[in-house]
Amino acid sequence: MIPDKFKLALLIDDNQIDNIINKRILENHNFVEKIITYQSAKDAMDYLKTNSDNSELFPDFILLDIRMPEMDGFQFLAEFENIQSHYKARCSIFILSSSLDPIDQRKVAENKYVVKFLGKPLTGPHLNNLQIRQGI
pTM listed for this prediction: 0.90
pLDDT in tens, 60-101: 999 999 999 999 999 999 999 999 998 998 899 999 999 989
Averaged pLDDT of the chain: 90
Residue range 31-36: mean pLDDT, rounded: 95
Q: Which domains does the chain have, with CATH numbers?
A: 6-133 (3.40.50.2300)
Map the chain to HEC letters.
CCCCCEEEEEEECCCHHHHHHHHHHHHHCCCEEEEEEECCHHHHHHHHHHCCCCCCCCCCEEEECCCCCCCCHHHHHHHHHHCCCCCHHHCEEEEEECCCCHHHHHHHHHCCCEEEEEECCCCHHHHHHHHHHCCC
